[in-house]
Amino acid sequence: QQKSPKDAVLNLLLGYQAERAGELPTALTHFDAAYAANPAFLQAVRKMSAIEIRQGNYDAADARVSKLEAQIEQSFPSLFLRARLEYERPNGDLEKAKKALALVLKLPAGSVRQSDRALTLELTAKIARREGKVDEAIDALSKAARLDNRNAELLSLLGELYFEKNEYDRALAQIRQLEKDGKTSPELLVLKADCFYRMSQPKKSLSIITEAKAKYPKAASIRLYEGDLLTETRSYDLAEAAYLKAIELQPLEVSTQLKLAKLLMAQSKIEEAKTLLESKIKANPNDSDLLIGYAQMRKQLGDIGGGEADYVPAKTHYEKALKLNASSVVARLELVDVLVQLKDSKRAKVELSKV
């Protein structure tokens, strides 16, 4: 029976909905059905490619990206996904990735969104960093920050590279130039505060955050970093209040929930921490970051004496997380450690071979 255009649209929408909920196999099914009903829906192929990469199904991703290349060769989706695939998969062709990213940056300005150009520069930087070319990585990220100054991951990576080289003055010069050019944002102020903290100026860091709260009262990222600062100074009650405010402002942000759980653990409020994350997992069972955070907590408890009672749930949650996002090397290595603790050396070797 021939599928109607309505079937294609409905399945595309259901695919987006399932992806947002973290139900990736369901999302793949709907995107596949959308494309089958209407081969003009190449955004469905784009989405399937990204999901396959995320899940570590690199051969399937390659087939889908090749389909995009055959139909829209010189486009952001086909070029960027090819680069991402080569970067993510083991022994990927980084030269091919770099060539694809360079071609994206040569596309007409009107054909690529600024945020997508920023993503392209960010991936260019990650490849340069992997190759040990830190200055090239910083240059690419600096350009990306001018295109998307609200991208917290991008700014965090830029700061990380500066901090690795102890180039705090250079980092501050970059931040001040962005501010001068009107590119300020809550995320940029967090990076500025972090820079001063790493320069052993915690009071200056806190004053920047205080000013930032007044300027951006609804920015969860500022409250989150305030919680981090207060945790470092062992001001646990104030830190907890900052994290709770961040959660109030951005209820679905997983990183805040994980930091609050770590704070509770630091105060030996173990059951509260477990209850917090277990309730969030119940509400969001397919969030890989949440699953990894919970697994790490149970692994930590296992390491300090909980033993098998904690290692088993840690193993379960690592495994589920890696099915959703196969690219987390840290999670896979931690799973290997848990398997060793559970005396499953055969399985540990298998997982280690995937790193």
Q: What is the pLDDT of residues 102-148, one digit of tens each?
A: 999 999 988 999 999 999 999 999 999 999 999 999 999 999 988 98
Residue 331: pLDDT above 90?
A: yes
- Mind listing the pLDDT tens digit for each residue in 2-21? 456 678 899 999 999 999 88
- Which pLDDT score is estimated for 1? 42
Residue type at 199? M
The separation between CA 56 and the C-alpha centre of its own chain, rounded to angstroms, equals 15
Neighbours of 276 (CB within 10 A): 18
- Which pLDDT score is estimated for 155? 87
CB 212 within 8 A of CB 193: yes
- Mind listing the pLDDT tens digit for each residue in 41-63? 999 999 999 999 998 899 999 99
CB 314 within 8 A of CB 298: yes
Chain mean pLDDT for the chain: 92
- Which pLDDT score is estimated for 20? 87
Neighbours of 118 (CB within 10 A): 22
Give residue 149's pLDDT band: very low, low, confident or very high (50, 70, 90): confident
- Which pLDDT score is estimated for 343? 95
